[in-house]
Structure 1
Amino acid sequence: MALISKIQNKGAAMSAIKETIEISRRPEDVYAYVTDPARMGEWQEGVVSVRSTDDTAPHVGSKTVVTRRVNQREFTMTTQIDEMDPPRSFKAHGLDGPVRPHFAAVIEPLDEGRRSRVTMSLDFETHGMGKVIAPLLLRPHARKEFPRNEQRLKEILEGGTEP
């Protein structure tokens, strides 16, 4: 029981995972790509499947069911967009499960809007067993994957194959 208490306290004191990258694409292009749920699996390596709950364009209140693989396990959760300020920022959070992500992205124009600085942050809200799972499994995995995801996003968008 003492180990679980230490893990829970350790998890509560951790800060959000935050990464910044510069991309040679206009903020409008970056924003459109990053907020499109159908594109998540292209640049986020842990995504196994994504399904929007409606057929409309992403908007505040949009929900998406995402299945991610972490090590050998798969986790499915529903996420919801909380804020959208095109092409500058958006926020989303998980609605269910023992570990609920809180994701935010800020896209700043560089070089008179020809390039973008993208800052993404990820944190976790934990419930029940999530208080053990998050610090031991999910947070370390996300710390490794998050910069790779940003690098993949940069490669895709700078490759010129995307809108």
Structure 2
Amino acid sequence: MFTVTESVEVARGAASVFEFLTDPARRAEWDRSVVSERLLSPPPVQTGSAIRTRMSILGRDAEYDWRVTVFEPPAAMALVSTSGMMPTRLRFDIADTADGSRVTATIEGSPEGMLRLAEPIISETVRSTFSESLQRAKALLEAG
């Protein structure tokens, strides 16, 4: 199992950052690994909602289904995969700061079978992709 945690400061309030980061329709705008993401259950997103994400990971297409386990605007959202390449958990924590807000994103992955051999590569790819994605989200949010 690996855990990757990345943080970024954004010059926008927690409410607008939370709304942007937790909107499935906007995920592909800021996360370069995401081809598309959509809500499978009736809107709005809430605890228990189902989300499907199509991704390109290490040059391979992948699809993940998620269940939202925590949805506490504007502070936290957590998801657990219900299908995909490997069991995965994702959490966003957002807190107001004097100059905007701080986003902390944590991904836990549990590669199984042959993927366990590639865990160091997967972990580093997740880290670099998510760091870049959070920086992109920051730029989009701050540009308005």
Structure 2 counterpart SS, 1:126:
coil
Deviation at 1:85, TM superposition (A): 1.4
Residue 147 of structure 1 is aligned with which of 106, 121, 131? 131
| Cα distance in 2 for residues equivalent to 1:18 and 1:91 | 13
Runs of 4+ in 1 over 6 A off after TM superposition: none
Deviates more, 1:120-129 or 1:75-84: 120-129
Cα deviation code 1:6-34 (max 9, x no counterpart):
xxxxxx4x4x1111111010100001111
Cα pair 1:90 1:106 within 8 Å, conserved: yes
Which position in structure 2 is the counterpart of 1:52? 39
| Aligned residue pairs, count | 144
Larger radius of gyration: 1
Q: Higher relative CO (CA 8 A, sep ≥ 6), structure 1 or 2?
A: 2
Percent identity reads 25
| Cα distance in 2 for residues equivalent to 1:87 and 1:81 | 15
TM-score after normalising by structure 1: 0.81
Cα pair 1:70 1:138 within 8 Å, conserved: no
> CA RMSD of the aligned region, Å?
1.6
| Cα distance in 1 for residues equivalent to 2:42 and 2:25 | 11
CA pair 98-68 structure 1, distance change in 2 beyond 3 A = closer
Corresponding position: 1:70 with 2:54: no
Amino acid at match of 1:24: A
| Cα distance in 1 for residues equivalent to 2:112 and 2:128 | 23
Deviation at 1:136, TM superposition (A): 5.0
Which position in structure 2 is the counterpart of 1:7? none
Q: Runs of 5+ in structure 2 lacking a partner?
A: none
Structural mapping, 1:69-108, within 5 Å: 69-108=56-95
Structure 2 counterpart SS, 1:95:
strand
Cα pair 1:103 1:122 within 8 Å, conserved: yes
Amino acid at match of 1:32: E
Q: Runs of 5+ in structure 1 lacking a partner?
A: 1-11
Structure with the higher strand share, 1 or 2:
2
Which position in structure 2 is the counterpart of 1:8? none
